[in-house]
Structure 1
Amino acid sequence: MLDYSLVYAVVGIALTCALLSVLSPDRRALDGIPTVGPSAPLASYIGAIRWLYDAPRMVQEGYDKYKGRAFKVANIDRWMVIVSGPKLIDEVRRAPDDVLSFTEATNDMLSIDYTLSPNVHHNEYHIPIVRSQLTRSLTSIFPEVRDEVITTFDEIIAPKGDEWIALPALETIMQVVCRASNRVFVGLPVCRNKDYCEANVRFAVDVMASAILLNMFPKFLRPVVGNMLTLVPRTVRRVRKHLEPLIEERLAKMEEYGDEWTDRPNDMLQWLLKGAEGNERTVDGWTRRMMVINFAAIHTSSMSFTIALFHLAANPEAYLQPMREEVETVTKEEGWSKASMQKMRKLDSFLRESQRLTGLDALALNRKVMKPFMLSDGTRLPIGTHIACAAMCTHSDNENYVSADVFDGFRFANMREEDGESIKYQFVSTSTDYVPFGHGRHACPGRFFAAAELKAMLAHLVINYDVKLEDEGVRPKDTWFSTSRSPNRTAKVMFRKRHSRHAT
């Protein structure tokens, strides 16, 4: 039976928010910005509901009508201002953090205080570690990443003889990414512990589910709702039981040997143990921080690789053999290394093209306005406004890419053949017309590790397996929630051991 008291409560909350929106001078300051969807105070909630299920089309509508200018769309409790064109995208990129804040925008979207930890929101000490130590260590840690990729593939993708086996793509790839990432994050044997891996994969799902739930409520209700959530704390306890003995063992050795501990691990956990200060130096703090890093690594890399895998399995005749030849040629000459991965231009291009055409979000460069800000088109943005760039539309614009709506896996490999373009079109390179990783100083700090890991996975896959889809040639349809794209979660990819392959 319908609980009408709940209905009345929700309607009352919506009306209250609408009235606050009308009365707020900051909200009225946005009235001059063109709107996609209804713009009247109460009617805008219709647009906010549409935004949940039709955001990509709304962004495209605004992009087509207001290209190179700003427009706005209604969210449940705020307006989102969206910009396009290299000039405005670059203005967002260059704005100082105390004017346009990436951190505060991310906190609002993920409700970090409740889904992760207030400490993570206010102290991002792990980001410089990812940006510097993880990236600098790629050459030395690559053999471990590759070893874990090989081991995991052999265990979970193991067809016999000539048989084809169908495996759920996203679930399978999440296992590979989790284990390969944690080989570098916490090392053996924890990275192969089934419960530890399942908990970290679960955490990524829990964070997103909790964030979506919290964003359905007005900001003033989030502390109440956030403190009632139990998904994340439960998973933290589950991960902690695996990390606590390891943390205590390492702290004891750090205390005993100090700088003389010559065989100390070269992994993320060790870097975090050394880098934490103050109230971060607790088992719970280190556990949560490791889970945050896992969330970033598993969630985006798994979905990105799965989407690329669907492109490959939908058209293996065009891509498998050319990539096999490239991998075999490069590794025959130079072996398997981080440096050799960089020479595999076709693999690099395939992953970049997948991100371009089927990236994980319709928007990029999300920022929150911390000080009044004016764009060069005259748009005035009051404090508290959220602004982002139209990523999907930028990537599918024929002015930026030839036949932009067509998947061309070797598009960027061909572009790199032109003189002077060997770096610009790499998978990890960002620009105003390629923003899946963001752009500028807040571009994804872990993208260099992610690129090495995903290329190691793709290289291993193409020289060891044949792949196809159950419905051959028909790529599974992606799903959207608001601006976020997800590969089809139930779709399967079929694998068969490749015969007559070179030794791996």
Structure 2
Amino acid sequence: MLLSYLGVFRYFTSSGPMVQEGYDKFKGAFFKVPRFRRWLVVVSSHTFIEELRKARDDELSLTAAICVFLMSVNIHIPNILVSKSDPYHLAILRNQLNRNLGVLFPQTHDEIVRAFDEIIPLTSDWTKVCANDAVSQIVCRSANRIFVGAPLCQDPDWLALTLKFSKDVVISGRIISLFPGFLQPIAASLLTNLNAHVRHGMRHLAPVIQDRQRHIDEYGQDWDDKPNDLISWLMDAASDDEKSVKNLTQRILVLNFGAIFTTTMSFTHALFNLAAMPYHIHPLREEVEAIVNKEGWSKASLDKMHKLDSFLKESQRYNASALSMIRLTVKDFTFSDGTVIPKNTFIAASQCPIHHDEKNYVNAGVFDGFRFANTKMSEEDSVKHQLVITEPVYLPFGHGKHACPGRHLAANLMKGFLAHIVLNYDIKLENEGVRPTDMWVDGSLVPNQTAELMFRKRQF
């Protein structure tokens, strides 16, 4: 029993090395790692990752896995995650959001500039900035310009609420999962304030939602000057049962969690890499300046910044979490080699070891910011290597039909952030040459939460 708990503790604090050890030892076969109260089976070959991707939802369920990992949301806001819920917000992310990223880019870029000016002011002298805190605030403001629009996206109370909600979802979900199933609702009520966060959010959103509903009642679904944002898209798509202020607020807060948590981690890693390897800055500046001077700021111009895209993709490859594509078996599942995974078992793809395998990437252990921006690539090959394209050897966004539906938004924001930084700031590590140490937490490679970076106005 003691050894079992030691294994769980080791996975929680050293999941990357543990999964790498299994990957090296079992050479493409299945292996398992211990989590509290159950094992997690790891898939490590391209063939089995493809079988994982192709499996039906009634065989291997992403939703069921998320319900366990985000236990606090599942208990307090069950209409969003449980299998009988209406996940219409996912279709909105794949359709309305992705289609409107170009149209909404002027507002998004405006918010990026405003957020940086307030959170990392342009000063002549070097200024210390806590990277994770600054990035989380900038991500939150920029995403909410699309989610709820201005001026609410700039409201300090709304921003503090969405950041607190996102943090509570992660922390409480991990703690609640340690309790036996029959105690989890009690633990959730004692450890989380998600319902209080929803009530808080309703105070902000109720006037907005009610005003828009009055316009719909009076002028119809497509009234003049109707805001083009997530609130409108949700109201248009929601069934009558889902149109209450409470239900819409719940969805908006949960989508904020999805946008803020992973994007903050990814971009904080990228900033640390940029500051630790500053020789990337000049080529990035040259590319961004040339394109912006010729075409201005737009999503189309961002899409032409191949070195920028490559740097962010390499950062996600190099600083990958241990696993991806997590599923829960709904029933016994048999792989093509005859391996049977029993019902109610977690299963996931090995991510970090695949990203660092020399068979998949040349010099895989070396950070090469322009790895995916080879000037000799054809345009077709260049598209294949974009940040948002998933494949069995690149899994930060998952892979297949359940790949992250918000990845295009995340990529758009991160490219906008990085382009703005290299054009307007000088950046360096507080301790030059020493990249802040990352930390493994239950499978995630978390960038240093307190490390500071040095910023100043760009010196010409």
- TM-score, normalised to structure 1, is 0.88
Deviates more, 1:152-161 or 1:427-436: 152-161
**1:364–1:438 CA contact under 8 A, matched in 2:** yes
Q: Could you tell me how far 1:46 is from its partner in structure 2?
A: 3.1
Is residue 2:71 matched to residue 1:111?
A: yes
**1:159–1:165 CA contact under 8 A, matched in 2:** no
Is residue 2:216 matched to residue 1:267?
A: no
**Correspondence 1:74-223 to 2 at 5 A:** 74-111=34-71, 113-114=73-74, 117-121=77-81, 122-161=85-124, 163-223=125-185
The corresponding residue for 1:290 is: 252
| Cα distance between partner residues in 2 of 1:168 and 1:492 | 4
The corresponding residue for 1:26 is: none
Q: Which residue type is aligned with residue 108 of structure 1?
A: V
1:353 to 302, 307, 314: 314
**1:468–1:494 CA contact under 8 A, matched in 2:** yes
Is residue 2:301 matched to residue 1:340?
A: yes
The corresponding residue for 2:290 is: 329
Cα deviations by residue, 1:412-467 (Å, 9 ceiling, x for unpaired)? 11277257411111000100000000000000001111111110111011000000
Q: Which residue type is aligned with residue 458 of structure 2?
A: R
| Cα distance between partner residues in 1 of 2:375 and 2:360 | 13
The corresponding residue for 2:190 is: 228
| Cα distance between partner residues in 2 of 1:70 and 1:160 | 53
Q: Could you tell me how far 1:254 is from its partner in structure 2?
A: 1.1
The corresponding residue for 2:21 is: 61
SS at match of 1:493: strand
Cα deviations by residue, 1:467-491 (Å, 9 ceiling, x for unpaired)? 0011012110011212012110100
How large is the RMSD of aligned CA atoms in angstroms? 1.5
SS at match of 1:74: strand
**1:89–1:432 CA contact under 8 A, matched in 2:** yes
Q: Could you tell me how far 1:315 is from its partner in structure 2?
A: 1.7
Q: Which residue type is aligned with residue 247 of structure 1?
A: I
**2:72–2:192 CA contact under 8 A, matched in 1:** no
Is residue 2:450 matched to residue 1:487?
A: no
| Cα distance between partner residues in 2 of 1:419 and 1:236 | 46
Change (3 A) 1:259 1:243: closer
SS at match of 1:388: strand
| Cα distance between partner residues in 2 of 1:142 and 1:410 | 25
| Cα distance between partner residues in 2 of 1:376 and 1:59 | 23
Is residue 2:436 matched to residue 1:476?
A: yes
Change (3 A) 1:200 1:59: same
Q: Which residue type is aligned with residue 98 of structure 2?
A: T
1:386 to 329, 343, 346: 346
Is residue 2:239 matched to residue 1:314?
A: no
Change (3 A) 1:241 1:266: same
Change (3 A) 1:254 1:358: same
| Cα distance between partner residues in 1 of 2:11 and 2:284 | 39
**1:76–1:218 CA contact under 8 A, matched in 2:** no
The corresponding residue for 1:30 is: none
Deviates more, 1:110-119 or 1:243-252: 110-119
Change (3 A) 1:115 1:351: farther
Q: Which residue type is aligned with residue 106 of structure 1?
A: I
Q: Could you tell me how far 1:71 is from its partner in structure 2?
A: 0.8
Q: Which has the larger radius of gyration?
A: 1
Q: Which residue type is aligned with residue 399 of structure 1?
A: K
**1:115–1:207 CA contact under 8 A, matched in 2:** no
SS at match of 1:494: strand
Q: Could you tell me how far 1:248 is from its partner in structure 2?
A: 1.0
The corresponding residue for 1:37 is: none
| Cα distance between partner residues in 2 of 1:172 and 1:228 | 30
Change (3 A) 1:276 1:259: closer
Q: Which residue type is aligned with residue 109 of structure 2?
A: R
| Cα distance between partner residues in 2 of 1:106 and 1:416 | 41
Which of structure 1's runs of 4+ aligned residues deviate more than 4 A? 112-116
Q: Which residue type is aligned with residue 331 of structure 1?
A: V
| Cα distance between partner residues in 2 of 1:232 and 1:321 | 45
**1:371–1:383 CA contact under 8 A, matched in 2:** yes
Change (3 A) 1:436 1:116: farther
| Cα distance between partner residues in 1 of 2:168 and 2:388 | 28
Q: Which residue type is aligned with residue 65 of structure 1?
A: K
**2:20–2:353 CA contact under 8 A, matched in 1:** yes
**2:23–2:353 CA contact under 8 A, matched in 1:** yes
Q: Could you tell me how far 1:267 is from its partner in structure 2?
A: 0.3
Number of positions where the alignment pairs a residue of Structure 1 with one of Structure 2: 457
Is residue 2:8 matched to residue 1:48?
A: yes
Q: Could you tell me how far 1:279 is from its partner in structure 2?
A: 2.8
Q: Could you tell me how far 1:68 is from its partner in structure 2?
A: 1.1
1:442 to 402, 418, 430: 402
Q: Could you tell me how far 1:112 is from its partner in structure 2?
A: 5.1
Deviates more, 1:288-297 or 1:331-340: 331-340
**1:72–1:81 CA contact under 8 A, matched in 2:** yes
**1:99–1:369 CA contact under 8 A, matched in 2:** yes
SS at match of 1:411: coil
- Structure 2, unpaired ranges of 5+: none
Q: Could you tell me how far 1:332 is from its partner in structure 2?
A: 1.7
Q: Which residue type is aligned with residue 134 of structure 1?
A: L
Q: Could you tell me how far 1:113 is from its partner in structure 2?
A: 4.6
| Cα distance between partner residues in 1 of 2:176 and 2:74 | 9
1:399 to 355, 359, 365: 359
**1:69–1:377 CA contact under 8 A, matched in 2:** no
SS at match of 2:374: helix
The corresponding residue for 2:420 is: 460
SS at match of 2:361: coil
Change (3 A) 1:446 1:202: same
